[in-house]
Amino acid sequence: METKPKKLTGKYLNDLWGVGAKHALYREDGKWYHQLTEFPGALFDANGYVVFETERDYWESPYLQIQQDLHISDGISSMPNYIRVTEKGHLQAFSNKIKETAEDSAKYQTGKSKDQEPRALKAPIANDMPEDNQETERVLSQSYRILRDTKVSRWVKYVHGYKCQLCGDTIKLNNGEFYAEAHHIQPLGKRHNGPDIVENVICVCPKHHVLLDYGVIYLDKSQLIMISGHDISDVYIAYHNTKIFGQS
C-alpha cells in the first residue's frame, strides 16, 4: 500500500526533491501564497516549482504581486524560471512513489539513514553523461544525440529499481549498486524539444536505450513494465512512433 502524506506541503516536496530551500510553500494552483521569509526560497504548485536564490530576486521579480500575501496572476508555471517536474497534477502520486520506494529501501539498508534521497540522486550515470545535470553534451554519430541525466531521470530510475521497463533487466555493478539509463521518449533539445518531466521518461537498459534513440523499435505502452505513481503520456509515445521510429 502506498504511503501518502496527510497533506501535500512545500516542506515535504522541498525535502523529497532535494530543492534545498530554507523556506518552501505549496499551493496547488500556484497563485496565492504567504510570504517567503528565508532564502533560498521556493514556491511549489501541483506540477513543479520556482526557486528564488536571494531576497532581492524575490522582491524584484516582475511576476510577483507582493502585498500582505503573495499573488501570481497566471500562476508560478507562467514564470521563466519555473521547473516543471510533471504535468496534469501527477506530482503527488510520483512523489509518494519516491517516498514509498525510499522507505522500502531503508528496511534493507542496515546502519544507513532512512533518508534515501542522496543515494538515489547519486546513482551511477553513464560515462558519457555530464555530472552537472544542467549541462548538455552533443556527441557526433549518425545523428546528434543529447546526453543528459537530470534529477527527474534519476528519480524515474530509482522508483523502477533500475529495471528496464522494456525487458526487466538490470545491471549490478561490482560495488553492489545497480545501473540503468533514463530515456526521454520525446528527446530533449532542438529538433524534438521534448520536456524533462516524469511522463516523458522511462527507465531502460543500455541496449534498449540505443534501440530507442535510433528508432529501431516501436513503443507499445501496453508492453511496458509499469508501476503505480509513474504515468507515461500517450502523447510522447505517439511522438516516438511517428517521428523517431523508422526515421533514423
79 and 137 both lie in a single domain: no
36 and 138 both lie in a single domain: no
Contact 33, 53 (CB under 8 A): no
pLDDT of residue 21: 98
- Region 39-65: what's the mean pLDDT? 97
155 and 240 both lie in a single domain: yes
| Beta strand segments in 80-125, E | 83-84
pLDDT band (50, 70, 90) for residue 7: confident
80 and 119 both lie in a single domain: no
Which residues neighbour 129 within 8 Å (Cβ) at sequence distance 6 or greater?
A: 137, 147, 148, 149
pLDDT of residue 5: 55
Of the listed ranges 48-52, 68-72, 134-138, the one predicted with least confidence: 134-138
What is the side-by-side strand order in the sheet with 65-66?
A: 32-33, 70-71, 65-66
pLDDT band (50, 70, 90) for residue 46: very high
pLDDT of residue 139: 42
Q: Which DSSP letter does residue 221 get?
A: G
Q: Which of 220, 245, 150 is nearest to 188 (CA)?
A: 150
Q: Which DSSP letter does residue 223 get?
A: G
Packing angle, helices 91-107 and 151-159, rounded to 10: 60
Greatest Cα pair distance, the chain, in angstroms, is: 57
pLDDT greater than 70 at residue 6: no
pLDDT greater than 60 at residue 4: no
Residue 108 within any structural domain of the chain: no
pLDDT of residue 248: 59
Q: In which element (H, E) is residue 24 found?
A: strand 23-26
Mean pLDDT of the chain: 86
pLDDT digits (tens, 9 = 90+) for 171-202: 999 999 999 999 999 999 889 999 999 999 99
| Beta strand segments in 37-126, E | 41-44, 48-52, 65-66, 70-71, 83-84
146 and 190 both lie in a single domain: yes
pLDDT band (50, 70, 90) for residue 87: very high
Residue 107 within any structural domain of the chain: no
Among 68, 84, 100, where does a domain finish?
84
Q: What is the pTM of this model?
A: 0.83
Q: Which of 47, 46, 58 is nearest to 22 (CA)?
A: 58
- Region 217-224: what's the mean pLDDT? 97
pLDDT greater than 80 at residue 115: no
Q: Which of 199, 177, 178, 195 is nearest to 187 (CA)?
A: 195
What are 139's three cell numbers? 556527441
User: Cis before residue 62, ω within 30 degrees of 0?
Assistant: no
Residue 141 within any structural domain of the chain: yes
Backbone angles phi, psi at 16, to 5 degrees: -65, -40
240 and 120 both lie in a single domain: yes
Among 40, 65, 84, where does a domain finish?
84
Domain that holds residue 229: 114-244
Residue 99 within any structural domain of the chain: no
pLDDT greater than 60 at residue 1: no
**Number of separate domains in the chain:** 2
pLDDT of residue 172: 94
pLDDT greater than 50 at residue 147: no
| Beta strand segments in 111-163, E | 137-140, 144-147
